[in-house]
Amino acid sequence: MPGPPGTRGDRAHRSAHNGSRISGAQAVDFARACLRDLTGRECESVSALQRTHDGWSIRLELVELERIPQTTDIMASYLVELDEQGELNSYERVSRYYRNQATPED
């Protein structure tokens, strides 16, 4: 899914639809845009990127519930799967955790 018109994600998405495979950086841009469109929230970080046999698997972290103090924010980790051209195959929330937690519980 492209980002808003004129954004980096939108330009990358349009160029990828010429049938060529997207790069890892483009996959991250597309995954961020897809997750923003689906959840209405901005991604805070990318925690994993892996090429698969048919595209890309990207794990993104975002704030799901803001709290005070910020160390108690509820974070969520999402797995986004894209095909070789950057089209969304699937997405799912794979874990939730407190920001101050050392490692997310899967």
Give the CATH number for residue 75: 3.10.450
The reply to whether 57 falls in a domain is yes
The reply to whether 35 falls in a domain is yes
Mean pLDDT of the chain: 86
The reply to whether 81 falls in a domain is yes
The reply to whether 28 falls in a domain is yes
Going from the C-alpha of 16 to that of each of 10, 11, 20, the distances in angstroms are 10, 9, 6
Domain extent for 83: 8-98
Express as a percent the part of the chain with pLDDT over 70: 77
The reply to whether 105 falls in a domain is no
Task: Work out how many domains the chain is built from and give that number.
Answer: 1
The reply to whether 32 falls in a domain is yes
Report the alpha-carbon distance of residue 45 to residue 59 in Å, rounded: 9
The reply to whether 106 falls in a domain is no
pTM confidence score: 0.78
Q: For the residues 48-77, what does the mean pLDDT come to?
A: 96
82 pLDDT above the threshold of 50? yes
pLDDT tens sequence across 11-24:
444 444 556 899 99
